Amino acid sequence: MSKNNLVNKHRYLHLTPLQRQELLSSIENKHEIPHKFAYLNSGAEAWDRVAKASDYDLGRRELCTLGKFMQLASIKLASEPFNIVHIGSGNGVEIPTIVETIGVDQIVHYALLDISSELLKIAKSYGSEHFEALTFLSFTHDATKSNISKIVATLRQNGNRNLVLLIGNGAILSNSSCLDYVTKSMIPIDRLLITLEVYAANRGKQILEQYKSPSILNLFEMSLSLIGINNITSKELEFLYNEEKSMVEVYFISKQWLKLHPHEKIAFNISLPEKIKIFSSFRPTVSALKQFLSSKGFTIETFQYFEKERCCGVVCKVKQD
C-alpha cells in the first residue's frame, strides 16, 4: 500500500518520542501494534468500561476464580507480613477480594503497577476508598521492560517479602520476556500468584467469541486510533487460536477496513500492512501452563483448576540453584 500521513494526532502526540518510535517500528517490522498502547491516555477509560461491562463474562469468571483461589492460597502462605506487587492492576477491581482475604494487617505496602498513569489513579483511589488504613503505592510500569527489579528492590527495603500478582493477565503473559523479568526480580522468600483462563479444544470457539463484545472492540480501537483507524467492527478483525504458541490472537485486516472507508479520508506516514496483529493473550492448557512456569524458573507450590470458571490459580516460587 502507498505511503500516507497520520491523521489521529491527538492521541498519537500524547505518546513520548520513544513510544512513537516503538509503535511505528513495530508496525513496519513486525506488522503489530503492541496491545499495551490501547491503555494509554483515553484508553484507561476504555478499559474501565470493559471491566464494568455487563457482557464481560470473562472478567466475572476471573474475579470469581480469584476469590476462591485466594481463600485457598492465603491458608498456605506463611503468616509473616509481605508487600503486594500487583502487575497490570488496571482499575483495581480485584483489590477488595485480595485485601479482604489476606487481611489488612498482613499487608505492609500494596504496590500498583500499570503502564497507564490514568488507570493507576483510578485503582489507587478505589483501593484507598475501601481500605483507608492501607498504604497504596503506584508505579507507572511497562511490563515489557526490565525495570520491575528496581521497583521490587525498593519495596523489599522494608525487610519484608513480596507477593507478586499476575491476575487474569493473559495479555501480559503473552510476552514471555515479562515473566523473565519477574523471575529475575524475585528471591526465594517471594511468591508469584497467577490466575488465568485456560484453553480446551471444546471451548475454542467460545473463547474467541468473548473478545467480540462492543466494549472490547472499543478497547482494540484505542491502539488502532493512534494511526487514524476508527469505527472498526468484528468483520474487519480476525480472531484465532495459535496452538503452537498457546495464544489467542486478534488481527486487524486493513484491506477489509479500507473497502468501507474511502482511502483519501485516511492517512498514515507508514506503509500499512494488509494484516496487523493488535492483541494476543496467553491461553494454555493446564499441562502447558505448568510446563511454561517450570521453563521460566518456577516451582509450583499450589495449583488449582476451577471447572465452573474454566480458570486456574497458581502460587509458585523461584527455583533455587
Stretch 79-95: mean pLDDT? 94
Res. 306: pLDDT tops 80: yes
Do 139 and 212 reside in the same domain of the chain?
A: no
Computed over every residue of the chain, the mean pLDDT equals 90
Q: Is residue 20 part of a domain?
A: yes
For the chain, the domain total comes to 2
Say if residues 225 and 9 touch (Cβ distance below 8 Å).
no
CA distance 142 to 167: 16
Do 31 and 106 reside in the same domain of the chain?
A: no
Do 77 and 152 reside in the same domain of the chain?
A: yes
Do 46 and 120 reside in the same domain of the chain?
A: no
Do 39 and 65 reside in the same domain of the chain?
A: no
Q: Is residue 3 part of a domain?
A: no
Under the banding of pLDDT at 50, 70 and 90, the label for residue 13 is: low
Do 80 and 183 reside in the same domain of the chain?
A: yes
Q: Is residue 187 part of a domain?
A: yes
Do 32 and 144 reside in the same domain of the chain?
A: no
Q: Is residue 181 part of a domain?
A: yes
Res. 21: pLDDT tops 50: yes
Q: In terms of DSSP H, where are the helices of 195-265?
A: 204-209, 214-224, 254-260
**What is the tens place of the pLDDT at every residue in 156-176?**
888 899 999 999 999 999 998
Under the banding of pLDDT at 50, 70 and 90, the label for residue 263 is: low
The pTM score is: 0.92
191-197 vs 161-167, strand pairing mode: parallel
Q: Is residue 2 part of a domain?
A: no
Q: Is residue 192 part of a domain?
A: yes
Q: Which of residues 229 and 10 earns the better pLDDT score?
A: 229
> Burial of 26 by CB count in 10 Å (0-12 exposed, 13-18 middle, 19+ buried)?
middle
Do 270 and 227 reside in the same domain of the chain?
A: yes
Q: CA 225, 228, 232 angle in degrees (round to 5)? A: 60
Stretch 188-205: mean pLDDT? 95
Q: What is the pLDDT of residue 268?
A: 56
Q: Which residues contact 211 (CB under 8 A, 6 or more apart)?
A: 239, 248, 250, 279
CATH assignment of the domain containing 100? 3.40.50.150
Q: Which domain holds residue 245?
A: 9-55+204-282
Under the banding of pLDDT at 50, 70 and 90, the label for residue 75 is: confident
70-79 contact pairs (CB < 8 A, 24+): 70/97, 70/98, 70/101, 70/102, 71/101, 72/302, 72/304, 72/313, 73/193, 73/302, 73/313, 73/315, 74/101, 74/102, 76/301, 76/302, 76/315, 77/102, 77/163, 77/191, 77/315, 79/106
Do 33 and 121 reside in the same domain of the chain?
A: no
Do 140 and 289 reside in the same domain of the chain?
A: yes
Q: CA-CA distances (angstroms) from residue 27 to 12, 32, 181, 273, 287?
A: 14, 5, 24, 8, 33
Q: Looking at the chain, which runs of residues are DSSP E strands?
A: 82-87, 107-114, 136-140, 161-167, 191-197, 237-242, 247-253, 275-282, 298-306, 311-318
Q: Is residue 1 part of a domain?
A: no
Res. 1: pLDDT tops 60: no
Q: What is the pLDDT of residue 231?
A: 85
Q: What percent of the chain has pLDDT over 90?
A: 74
Do 187 and 290 reside in the same domain of the chain?
A: yes
**What is the tens place of the pLDDT at every residue in 127-145?**
999 999 999 999 999 999 9
Do 71 and 146 reside in the same domain of the chain?
A: yes
Q: What percent of the chain has pLDDT over 70?
A: 93
Q: Is residue 255 part of a domain?
A: yes
Stretch 248-260: mean pLDDT? 89
Under the banding of pLDDT at 50, 70 and 90, the label for residue 15 is: confident
Q: Which residues contact 240 (CB under 8 A, 6 or more apart)?
A: 208, 248, 249, 251
**What is the tens place of the pLDDT at every residue in 24-53?**
899 999 999 999 999 998 889 999 999 998
